[in-house]
Amino acid sequence: MQDNLKVDSILSFWEDSPEAMDMILTNGIWKKKSWACMGVGLNGHYASVWFGQRPDRAGKPKICRSVTRSKEKSSTEHAFYLIYGSYPATSSATKVLGHLKTKGFKSAGILRTHKHVRVYLSHSSDFQQIKRERQKWMKKYPKIWILEQ
């Protein structure tokens, strides 16, 4: 067993649990809830998630500025995607993609990995370029994030 958990494996585990997905997506017994904040804790072999109906008093988390990439490494070994959202099915992602294309995101697309169907606004092997793209769109789309593969 691994000592360190991977985010995608945790998300896959939660996606495989109808009860967890109902809570996360506010369906079923959770349909009257509206999550204003959430937190995730990782420790060894354990992952915990919590949701709150009131905004977190600590405010938004700060963006980590310590990530650095060498140009050689990022251009040969990695792809970076500016993710707009994750969806339970390809049909949902396709609808969102069509909407984004009409808004001018010509390089937007769908990324399928393991059990995830994600819509991305752009992708590049250059991490700095994707960071700049994210900064450019953060005000309009505050939930976008970068995925490294």
Contact 110, 93 (CB under 8 A): yes
More confident residue, 31 or 149: 31
Q: Quote the pTM value.
A: 0.51
Contact 146, 134 (CB under 8 A): yes
* Residue ranges per structural domain of the chain: 7-52, 71-148
pLDDT tens profile 21-69: 888 888 999 999 988 888 877 776 677 888 888 887 777 766 655 544 4
| Structure tokens belonging to residue 91 | 């049909």
Distance between CA atoms of 73 and 105, rounded to whole angstroms? 27
pLDDT tens profile 113-144: 777 899 999 999 998 999 999 999 999 998 89
Coil/strand/helix, residue 81: strand
Contact 133, 82 (CB under 8 A): yes
| Structure tokens belonging to residue 84 | 């707009």
CA angle 49–85–60, rounded 5-degree value: 50
| Structure tokens belonging to residue 139 | 């005000």
Q: Which CATH architecture has domain 71-148?
A: 2-Layer Sandwich (3.30)
Mean pLDDT of 4-30: 79
